Structure 1
Amino acid sequence: MTGKPDWTGRRLEVEVGAVAHGGHCVARYEGRVVFVRHALPGEVVVVEVTEDAGGGFCRADAVEVLTPAAGRVSPPCALADMALGRNRCGGCDWQHASGETQRELKAAVVAEQLQRIAGLDWPVQVRELPGGLLRWRTRARLAVDRSGNAGFRAHRSHRVVPVEDCPITAEGAMAEVTDRRWRPGAELTAVEDSRGEVHVTAVDHKPKRRHARPVARSVRGGEVAHESAAGRSFDVSVQGFWQVHKAAPDVFSETVAQLAAVPSGGVAWDLYGGVGLFAAVLAEQAGPTGEVLLVESSKRAVEDAVANLRDLPQVAFRAGTVERVLTDEDLPTPDVVVLDPPRKGAGRAVVDAVASREPSRIVHIACDPAALARDVSLYAEHGYRLSDLRAFDAFPMTHHIECIALLEPVDG
C-alpha cells in the first residue's frame, strides 16, 4: 500500500470480530482495522467508512446486515435506525442488541481491559439494575440546532440531531425540552428528580451583552433537585453531579457499604465525595465516635453536602482538589478509603497518596474500564490486590458501565 489510504464514504463487506472499548467492534479489511459501530461480533455486514485519517485503521457504521447475530434486535428508537446512516443519534451504542447481549459485551470489555492493562484474568459479570432498558435516565444534556430544535449530537460530531423524544430518558424531562424552540446554539439540561419534579436549565453561548460569560438560567423548576437514596434526602444543584440511572444511587450506596465495612469508631475517607451520598453510609458504619472526611473540588457540592449531612457531626468536609487536599499530612489516617474519580480515573498522584496511608480497604468506583485497569495497576505497585469487583449496567443502550472495585493489601 503506497501513501495514506482514504476510504471515507466507501462501502465494505466485513465479518465483525470482537467488541472493543468505546461502543464498537473490530473488523479487518485488506490488512487494515475497521472499527465498526452498530454491529455485533460474528455478523457479516456492509459498512460505510465515516472517518479515515490514513494509517492502520478507519471508522465505519454498519448500513446493512447480511448475517445477523442471535443477540440482534430492532432498536426501540427511530433515530437508531440503520437506514439513517450518519444521521443517527450519537447518544446510544447498543440499541440493536438485546439487554443480555449488551451486558455480555460490556463484561468482555471490562475483562479485556483488566487483562491487557493490569495483567489480571478476572471473570466479569455485569449486573442489571432495576427498571429495564428504557426510561432509566433522569438527567440529560441536549444541544440546540440552528433552527432552535433540541437534540443530541451525532457520533463524534458537533452536528445536532433533533429529537421529539428519547426512550432511555424520563418522559417528563424530555417533554419539557422538545415541545418548544430554543435559542440556536444553546445547551440544555433536563432533570427529573426523585419527587418527579422536572428542572430545565439553558446556557446561551451567545449572550446578549458582548463579552458576557454564558450563564445557566432556570427555565422550569428550580436550581435544586430533590433526590432520595440510602434512606435519606439529598439536595443537589441541577448542574451538579448525581447518578443518572434512577436505581443507581441506592444500588451503589448499598454496594459501597458492603465493600467498605468501616469499623465502628473507625476513620473513612470519601474522595470526590459530591453531595455526600457515600459519606452518609460510611458515617452510619463509623458511628458517632468515628470520623468521615469528605473531599470534593466543587464548592457548591460541598455546600450541599454540609446541608445534606448536618445530622452527622462525625463527617468533616474539605473543598479542594483531591490531589491538593491529600498533601496535608494532618489528615486522619483512614481505615477505609472510598473514591469515585472522574472518567479519566484517579491517576498516579492520587493512588500514591491513598496507598501511602495504608488503609485496610480501598473501594474504587469507575465509569471507564480502561481508567479502572490503569488505577488497579497503580495500586498493585503499592502492594494492593483486586479482591472484589462488582460491575453494573448503569447506562443501558450505551457502551458505558459502572464498576465498584475492592482493593486490599496483598499481605493483609
Structure 2
Amino acid sequence: MPRTSSPRPVSRPDAGPSLVGERFEATVERVAHGGFCVARHEGRAVFVRHALPGERVVAQVTEGHTGDRYLRADAVEILDASPDRVEAPCEYAAPGRCGGCDWQHATPDAQRRLKAAVVEEQLFRLAGIERKVEVEEAPGTPDGLGWRTRVQFAVDDAGRIGLRKSRSHEIVPIETCAIAAPGVEEVGAERRSWPGVAGVEVIAASGSSDRAVVVTPLPKPDGRMPIVEMDVPVAVLRGDGQGGAARVHGRAQVREVAAGRTWKVSGSGFWQVHPAAADVLNEAVLEAVEARPGETAMDLYCGVGLFAAGLAEAVGEDGEVVAVESDKGAVEDALVNLESYDQVVIVEDRVDKALKDAPEGFEAEVVVLDPPRSGAGKKVVAGIAELRPRVVAYVACDPAALARDLAYFAEQGYELDTLRAFDLFPMTHHVECVARLVRSAR
C-alpha cells in the first residue's frame, strides 16, 4: 500500500456504517484537549478541528460510525465566526491539510486562553484540583511564527517532503513551514526531492550556527544513503527511524546555547524546540525548588543535563545531584555537558528501575522530573515519594498526563503548590507546565 494512502471509510460490525464525509450544522461549545472543540449533533459529542468556542459551523465528519458514542470532524465552513478568529497565516493550516498546527485560526491571546482552559479542565477532571491557570507568552515569538528549531518532515512516494494530516499517515507536501525557525528554512529541505527517503529532520541550533539534517532512508537491500546536497553547510546524519542517528559527514552533534552555557546535543537527541524554552523552563524549575547548598537533588529523565547543571550550581560542592536517563546517546552528551561538576552522578537506567534500586535509606531533598508525554506513572511517583523530598518540580508537556500523576502524588501525601504554564508551542495545542509539589499539611 502506498505510504500516502489513507484508510477508506468502511463499516464496522460493532459500530455500523461509516459517517465519514457527512456534513451538518453545529454550534461549538467549549475547547477540548488535543486541538479540538466540542459540539453536539443529534445528542452525540463531536470533536471539531478548525473551530472556536461559540461559533456556528458546518462540520464534516472525519472519523466515526453510526454506532459510535462520539465523532470527529473538521469545520469546513464558518457560519458565525468568533471575535477571536483570524485568517490562518499558513496556507496548509486548513481542513484536510497539514495537521501540525491546531490554532492558526485564533489570535495568540485566544490560543493561550484555550490552552489555559484545557489545563484547568484536565486538572479538575483527572485530579480533582480547582486551579486558575494563566499561560505565559514565550519570549521572542509574539506572532507565534518562526520558532520551531527542529522539524521532522515525512516524505511521500514521489520523494516530496511534507507533514502529516491530523490523526493520519497521509502526507501533505509543503514548500515552507510557517512555524519553522529561519535556520530550518535556510537549509532548504522543502526545495529538493528526497527519493528513497522515509523521513527528514532539520535541526537549527539556538545560539550557534550549527545545522544538521537527519535522513532516514527507506529500507533497501544495499542500505545506501541517498546523496544529500543542501543550500547551506550542514551535518548530515543517517537516522534509524527510532530517534537514533549516525554521522555521514559534518559534526555528529549541534551546539545549543542556554542558561549561560553551551550544550552538546547529538543528532536527534532531545532538546526543546522553542529557542526560549530551555531558558524559560530552567529558570522556572530552579525557582520552584530553591535548592540549597549541601542538599541532595535528583534530576529524573535528565536528558543532556540542563536541569542537573542548575541544580549542581545551587547545591554546591558539598551537595549531590543524581541525574537519571535511559537513552544512551543523551547519557553520552550529559557526561560531556556535566563533566565540570564533581557533585553530579549520572545513572544510565530507566527511572523506575533506578528508584527501585536506590540504596536503602537514600533520600533527596529536591526532585526534578521531566518525563515523556505519557507521564511518569504510579510506580515512579511512589518511588519519588519514598525519597521523602521536601519539594518536587514536575515539568510536563501534556496536561492530562500531569493531572493523572498529580492524583498519584496526592495519594502519596504530596499536593500541588504552584503551577506555571508556558506557550512554548504557539499555533499548536501543546503547552508546557512546571508544577511545584510539597508535602500535604494534613
TM-score (norm 2): 0.89
Which whole-Å deviations, capped at 9, do the CAs of 1:9-33 have from their partners, x for residues lacking one? 1111100011000100000011111
Aligned to 2:211: 198
- Are 1:64 and 2:93 counterparts? no
Counterpart-to-counterpart distance in 2, 1:248 and 1:203: 27
Counterpart-to-counterpart distance in 2, 1:92 and 1:118: 28
Aligned to 2:228: none
Q: Secondary structure at the match of 2:92?
A: helix
* Contact 1:202 1:218 survives alignment (8 Å): no
Superposition CA RMSD, Å = 1.9
- Are 1:95 and 2:108 counterparts? no
Corresponding letter in the other structure for 1:105: L
Aligned to 2:155: 144
The 5 Å alignment of 1:176-215 reads: 176=187, 177-194=189-206, 195-209=208-222, 215=240
- Are 1:47 and 2:44 counterparts? no
Corresponding letter in the other structure for 1:120: I
Q: Give 1:305 deviation, angstroms.
A: 0.6
Q: Give 1:221 deviation, angstroms.
A: 4.9
Equivalent of 1:118 in 119, 127, 149: 127
- Are 1:232 and 2:251 counterparts? no
Corresponding letter in the other structure for 1:70: P
Q: Give 1:285 deviation, angstroms.
A: 0.5
* Contact 1:207 1:214 survives alignment (8 Å): no
Corresponding letter in the other structure for 2:222: R
* Contact 1:202 1:217 survives alignment (8 Å): no
| Larger displacement relative to structure 2 (94-103 or 322-331) | 322-331
Q: Give 1:238 deviation, angstroms.
A: 2.0
Counterpart-to-counterpart distance in 2, 1:174 and 1:207: 29
Q: Give 1:90 deviation, angstroms.
A: 0.8
* Contact 1:201 1:220 survives alignment (8 Å): no
* Contact 1:118 1:374 survives alignment (8 Å): yes
- Are 1:157 and 2:186 counterparts? no
Q: Give 1:222 deviation, angstroms.
A: 2.8
Aligned to 1:287: 316
- Are 1:76 and 2:85 counterparts? no
Of all paired residues, the percent bearing the same amino acid is 50
Counterpart-to-counterpart distance in 1, 2:328 and 2:239: 19
Q: Give 1:6 deviation, angstroms.
A: 3.1
Q: Give 1:201 deviation, angstroms.
A: 1.2
- Are 1:318 and 2:331 counterparts? no
- Are 1:343 and 2:373 counterparts? yes
Counterpart-to-counterpart distance in 2, 1:238 and 1:134: 24
Aligned to 2:23: 11
Counterpart-to-counterpart distance in 1, 2:181 and 2:21: 36
Corresponding letter in the other structure for 1:235: K
Q: Give 1:219 deviation, angstroms.
A: 6.7
* Contact 2:418 2:435 survives alignment (8 Å): yes
Aligned to 1:375: 405
* Contact 1:269 1:292 survives alignment (8 Å): yes
Which whole-Å deviations, capped at 9, do the CAs of 1:329-383 have from their partners, x for residues lacking one? 3174200000000000000010000001110000011100100000000000011
Q: Secondary structure at the match of 1:13?
A: strand
* Contact 1:143 1:151 survives alignment (8 Å): yes
* Contact 1:47 1:62 survives alignment (8 Å): yes
CA distance 1:343–1:325, change in 2 (3 Å): same
Q: Give 1:207 deviation, angstroms.
A: 2.6
Q: Give 1:174 deviation, angstroms.
A: 3.0
TM-score (norm 1): 0.95
Counterpart-to-counterpart distance in 1, 2:334 and 2:100: 31
Aligned to 1:357: 387
| Larger displacement relative to structure 2 (49-58 or 224-233) | 49-58
Q: Give 1:411 deviation, angstroms.
A: 2.6
Corresponding letter in the other structure for 2:294: G
CA distance 1:384–1:72, change in 2 (3 Å): same
Counterpart-to-counterpart distance in 1, 2:352 and 2:61: 42
CA distance 1:358–1:206, change in 2 (3 Å): same
* Contact 2:239 2:246 survives alignment (8 Å): no
Corresponding letter in the other structure for 2:125: R
- Are 1:34 and 2:63 counterparts? no
Q: Secondary structure at the match of 1:289?
A: coil
Corresponding letter in the other structure for 1:315: V
Aligned to 1:366: 396
- Are 1:388 and 2:423 counterparts? no
Counterpart-to-counterpart distance in 2, 1:329 and 1:256: 24
Aligned to 1:401: 431
